[in-house]
Amino acid sequence: MFFTVLSIELSKIFSKGRSYIGFGAITILVPIVQAAMYSEGEAYFSLFTQGLQQQFSFTGTFLNGYLIAFVVLQSLLVHVPLLVTLVAGDMLAGEATGGTYRLLFTRPVSRHTVVLAKYSAALLYTIGLIAWMSLLSMGMSLLIFGSGELFIVSSSITVLQKDDILWRFGYAYLFGILSMSTVASIAFMFSALVENSIGPIAMTMAIIIVFTIISALDAGFIKDVKYLLFTNHLISWRLFFEETVPVDRILLSTWVLGGHSIASLFVSLFVITKKDILS
């Protein structure tokens, strides 16, 4: 029965206009970034590396498909949480708003099955969104700009060799799925708690903003516990682009994000199975 409900939930997701906002936004934004980089990329790269060029000699071009994919990943993952919550936050709250809990929960299907199927559908949507983003940002960028070495400036300068990059992107996208699944899980949990679709979106975004601000504080007890905040780990995909990948830090991020996701799912299951359907 789980797979029947899952297929129903997926068909419902893709029958709603709002589900295409995320795909539409990515489809519009990625080519814009690519076009901008195509026309202004060289000048932008020179400006960005102006200081470095006095100390290092640059030969060839670093403006390639990998760099564009990296830039897109960096910029888009900041906005993807909003796109994910649009759907995940509506999964249960949408039923309450539309009064269709009454249709769903008067069928010979357990509430556990319905919640798990809806949760899985939200995760599949998230995976689809990241996959679409990776296809457009990586695939298209490699087609337009070709491949090459990846030049990354953060706290240090990292230059990754051409044949040492693809697997890093693969893991980075997988980690991106984990990060966004956590955001989807939290939106899903709020969706179980409230009876309107806007609430979960607003609450999830508010939590991301508040936790991000708390993460930036170094005072008192916050310093000791901030590694537990999921927002601290959302961009851990960047760790895959360090010269030596810090496996222990990635594992910690995976545990924290996974823990948040599982906890959110359990809260959703508990709330929905105990809930009196009054809508």
Residue 11 or 27 with smaller CB distance to other proteins = 11
Residue 8 or 82 with smaller CB distance to other proteins = 8
B/e letters for 108-125, b = 16+ CB within 10 Å, e = fewer, are ebebeebbbbbbbbbbeb
- Residue 1 CB, nearest distance to other proteins (Å)? 7
Footprint on this chain of other proteins (rule: CB under 8 A): 1, 4-5, 8, 11-12, 15-17, 98-110, 274, 276-278
- Residue 13 CB, nearest distance to other proteins (Å)? 11
Q: Are 116 and 51 in contact (CB under 8 A)?
A: no
Residue 2: which of 126, 122, 103, 116 has the closest Cα? 116
- Residue 276 CB, nearest distance to other proteins (Å)? 4
Residue 109 or 142 with smaller CB distance to other proteins = 109
- Residue 93 CB, nearest distance to other proteins (Å)? 14
B/e letters for 18-45, b = 16+ CB within 10 Å, e = fewer, are ebeebbebbeebbeebbeebeeebeeeb
Residue 12 or 238 with smaller CB distance to other proteins = 12
Tracing tokens 């888009």 back to the chain, one arrives at 76
Q: Are 230 and 260 in contact (CB under 8 A)?
A: yes
- Residue 98 CB, nearest distance to other proteins (Å)? 6
Q: Are 80 and 30 in contact (CB under 8 A)?
A: no
Round to whole Å and give the CA distance between 69 and 67.
Answer: 5
Residue 13 or 177 with smaller CB distance to other proteins = 13
Residue 4 or 53 with smaller CB distance to other proteins = 4
- Residue 5 CB, nearest distance to other proteins (Å)? 7
Residue 110 or 196 with smaller CB distance to other proteins = 110
- Residue 267 CB, nearest distance to other proteins (Å)? 19
Round to whole Å and give the CA distance between 168 and 138.
Answer: 12
Residue 231: CA atoms inside 13 Å, Cβ hemisphere, count? Answer: 17
